[in-house]
Amino acid sequence: MTFEEAHVLIKQTLPEKRYIHTLGVVETAERLAIQYGEDVEQARLAAMLHDYAKYFDIEEMRQVVIEEGLDLNLLQYGDELLHAPVGAVLLARQYDLDQAVLSAIRNHTTGEPGMSRLDQILFVADAIEPNRNYPGVELLRAEAAHSLEAAVVATLKQTIEFLLKKSVRIFPLTIETYNDFVNTP
């Protein structure tokens, strides 16, 4: 799938606000890929597609988790977690996409221990794209300017703090990713 094909698909799939967020993620992922020497075309494509399933029917997404043998724990946490792994599966079913791109889409919400540099770029770009304006986003942008790994840790900390304040369950993979990156010297 080319970037332009992905662009057409996303423009017709997502509502305006989410489409604008997506363009911000594309621009930011491209910038980070250049800065950190990763594949710019893969970063742009993963960013364009990352929220493909964001507004899909929750029951249908739960069904995909079961059918595809994805981690059944996904059904016991917030529904917000579904769109990343389910989006990757649905895209892989319909289009020819590199595993590296699918991996970045799959783990963009929680991260994953040992995630690739491309995964890290999408994970951070999603959190700091120019349309994001939550408290603390400037700190994440500053981290991303000097270290991709530091930005991953800062993003995980901000996500975990946000979930704690909301008193919702934290998906184990989010915590495992945090532990993995904090242990990395």
Residues that bind ligand DGI (CB under 6 A): 51, 54, 77-78, 80-81, 84, 108-110, 126, 159, 163, 168-171, 174
> How many Å separate Cα 115 from the centre of its chain?
12
CB of 15 to Fe ion, least distance (A): 13
Segment (H or E) for 48: helix 40-49
CA dist 82 and 94 (Å) reads: 18
CB of 65 to ligand DGI, least distance (A): 15
Nearest to 14 by CA among 83, 110, 69, 63: 83
Question: Which of ligand DGI, Fe ion, none does residue 77 bind to, with CB < 5 to 8 Å depending on kind?
Answer: ligand DGI
Which lies closer to Fe ion via its Cβ, residue 112 or residue 126? 126
Contact footprint for Fe ion (CB under 5 A) = 51, 126
Instruction: Select from ligand DGI, Fe ion, none the partner in contact with residue 170, using the beta carbon and a kind-dependent cut-off of 5 to 8 Å.
Output: ligand DGI
Residue of 10, 16, 37 whose CA lies nearest to 26 = 10
